[in-house]
Amino acid sequence: MRPNILYIIAHDLGRHLRCYGQRSVETPALDRLAAQGVIFTNHFAASTPCSPSRGCIMTGRYAHTNGLVGLVNHGWDMPAEERTIVDELNDAGIHTVQLGFQHERRDYDAYRYADCRRGSHFADEVAARVCDFLRTEAGDRQPFYLNAGTWEVHLPFDREVYQPADPATVDVPPFLPDNPDVRTELARFHGSIKHLDDAVGEILRTLDETGLAQNTAVIFTTDHGMAFPRAKSTLFDPGIGTALIIRAPGAVLRGPCEALVSNIDLAPTLLDMIDQGAPGTMQGRSVWPLLAGRDEAYLPRTEVFSEKNYHNRYDPTRSVRTERYKYIRTFGPAPAIPLPRDMRRSIAANHLAPGAVPRRASEELYNLVDDPHERRNLVRTLNHTELVADLRARLDRWMRDTADFLLTGDAPTPPPTQPLDDE
């Protein structure tokens, strides 16, 4: 029997979980899920804004290929003719259900779920509805694909149900300044994460209680990095590094997987998991052979590519990341640390007045082993000339192979509701 798929996607989380080494945040449910399954330590978003990243996940295609290059709430939309994993699963006879938050199409019905249910996007309320489905309907709907999206952990972290951590106890990531504002916002962030983890715990307990856990794959991920400076909306690792945890029937691999993985790989992986071939239009590659213990059938990635087009403003940027190096190219003037509107209202950005943020270099190179926080741009150093040329060529080849519109200068026209500038 084909397994059910329970897909949980959080908002703006990055990898800020204890199982990813964040010691001061409490995430027992997700830590337990990671211990029972596979945690991908080198999983990266193919695009850093919310909607484009989610579009990459759902289509298995890059943002400039699938057409979703900006935020749905700013008027962008995924083209109606663009097929997603929902279409593939429908055709495969899987009962597709959507509960909670989705951010890829403005019209929920246009997503073509067999069962699309609107309602609250908050994690506790989404979890309650998911658990109700598992208890009362799932037995008659197998195999099913249930997409459960949560608003958490998006700013602001001010719901009364969140219990902030003690600011004195939070670990401040090295790429952020250690000051009272940052600590206060991190403490609130931790409260939101704990609330999300509690909701995931409720879902996992219900899977156990109903007996569905034995034949249900659980996937937990997020769209991009946390909403703090030098993370969300950037192509630095804190902006594109994302959590991915998979616990699935038939998987023999346990613990951490260090392979380079892009989030365009998730759709073909899920199709491979149910023995359904991925269409040739998908640009990702399945990692199911790794999980199923067939390493010889897996073609490892030597690099992953990421992009940014529109967040609150046009910011055409591309990157290639290997195990050791990151090369970023910016195709227009932009601030070194972009601040989307939600982050500009966050007290953690108080020290980053927009007018004081320097301009970004057109090319950047970072040694991720010696400089994991991407502070020293090596692109102009003489001993890195050949490396820069190699990574530049890889990026150019990828852009050509995927028909990137930046090569022709034919950028998509922003919808009328897209803000012209937020910096």
> Which among 149, 143, 146 is positioned nearest to 133, based on CA atoms?
146
CB of 324 closer than 8 Å to CB of 368 = yes
Average pLDDT in the 94-99 region?
97
The answer, yes or no, to whether residue 353 has pLDDT greater than 60, is no
Measured CA to CA in angstroms, residue 93 lies from 54, 86, 301 at distances of 23, 11, 31
The answer, yes or no, to whether residue 20 has pLDDT greater than 90, is yes
pLDDT-based confidence at 423, cuts 50/70/90?
Answer: very low
| pLDDT tens readout for residues 179-204 | 999 999 999 999 999 999 999 999 99
pLDDT-based confidence at 16, cuts 50/70/90?
Answer: very high
In 143-188, which ranges are E strands?
144-149
Q: How do beta strands 95-100 and 115-117 pair?
A: parallel
The answer, yes or no, to whether residue 422 has pLDDT greater than 50, is no
| pLDDT tens readout for residues 384-394 | 999 999 999 99
Q: What's the CATH superfamily of 4-297?
A: Alkaline Phosphatase, subunit A (3.40.720.10)
Which residues are within 8 A (CB) of 326 and not within 5 positions of it... i.e. 6 or more apart? 235, 236, 237, 319, 320, 364, 365, 366, 368, 374
Secondary structure of residue 143 in the 3-state scheme = coil
State the Cα angle at 276 between 292 and 242, rounded to 5°.
Answer: 60
Peptide bond into 177 cis (omega under 30): no
> Which among 243, 252, 249, 247 is positioned nearest to 291, based on CA atoms?
252
Report which DSSP code applies to 389. Answer: H
pLDDT of residue 293: 94
| pLDDT tens readout for residues 24-37 | 999 999 999 999 99
Average pLDDT in the 320-332 region?
96
Distance between CA atoms of 214 and 193, rounded to whole angstroms? 27
Burial class (CB in 10 A: 0-12, 13-18, 19+), 160: exposed
Distance between CA atoms of 349 and 227, rounded to whole angstroms? 10
pLDDT-based confidence at 409, cuts 50/70/90?
Answer: confident
Topology annotation, domain 304-407: Arylsulfatase, C-terminal domain (3.30.1120)
The answer, yes or no, to whether residue 93 has pLDDT greater than 60, is yes
Q: Which amino acid is at 241?
A: G
More confident residue, 174 or 355: 174
pLDDT of residue 165: 97
The number of CA neighbours under 13 Å toward the Cβ of 107 is: 5
Secondary structure of residue 189 in the 3-state scheme = helix
Peptide bond into 156 cis (omega under 30): yes
**Average pLDDT in the chain:** 94
Q: What tokens were used for 261? A: 């993985």
| pLDDT tens readout for residues 41-67 | 999 999 999 999 999 999 999 999 999
Instruction: Give the number of other Cβ atoms within 10 Å of residue 81's Cβ.
Output: 6
pLDDT more than 90, % of the chain: 86
- The domain segmentation of the chain, as residue ranges, is 4-297, 304-407
| pLDDT tens readout for residues 330-351 | 998 877 778 787 887 788 877 6
Which residues are within 8 A (CB) of 207 and not within 5 positions of it... i.e. 6 or more apart? 6, 134, 213, 216, 218
pLDDT of residue 141: 94
CA gyration radius, the chain: 20
pLDDT-based confidence at 355, cuts 50/70/90?
Answer: very low
Residues in the chain: 423
Distance between CA atoms of 326 and 306, rounded to whole angstroms? 11
